Structure 1
């Protein structure tokens, strides 16, 4: 079991049984996935685990190994950068993917600013989706390009 899922369950936060068709429909409402084919959206949804996360929970910690990524389905997170700057992201945004693809340590800490619903991916799922699902690759490449700019 993934440590994040185990930690969330140990805090009494139930795992939400993901319905791939429902999650795929939700993903398709976000600009990042708006042009994606239905099959790609279902593949993305089926590769993740939907989780409820309370406000204040740290999803990712700076200077730790990259073992997970998320698509935010509902709510907002604060990205606390090493520079001291904080960036807020919300529904439809992807977090945690960069360090996985670059095989590097995390460069920021991510904290739930509000209660969240996220689609959680293991590092292996991110790598596989990036290689095999065009809509996921496009979403990740678009996200990374925006963050560099």
Structure 2
């Protein structure tokens, strides 16, 4: 399963201007909803899941988040990518008492239960490489993002 096949160019935001996690989720949801990728229930459920199971990750000098929710809220599978103009605070996945300032968000919309595990495993391989995160966070346009994911070889 290639992560690149889930990246939807129409759901990539470069330099997204948001003040907080709520605005971020709303902006990403709106695009996905308008294009028929998610149901109305997706937004409240992704917020709810993030509050219970945070998705912030800090890898060396970079921080990203991988929010996702249950398959029944997704119409068509996707990964939406937002590179933020300024970081937004997320609780850490490994310690929800701590926060990290997230610079990029990979929102997963997966409606096949097995897909979620496989895609998360592949994404973890990608984000553990600092060079990949650097390219993601410093992307100048949508093609930088799609080319990055197409060029990554998953073991």
Question: TM-score w.r.t. structure 2 length?
Answer: 0.28
Question: TM-score w.r.t. structure 1 length?
Answer: 0.29
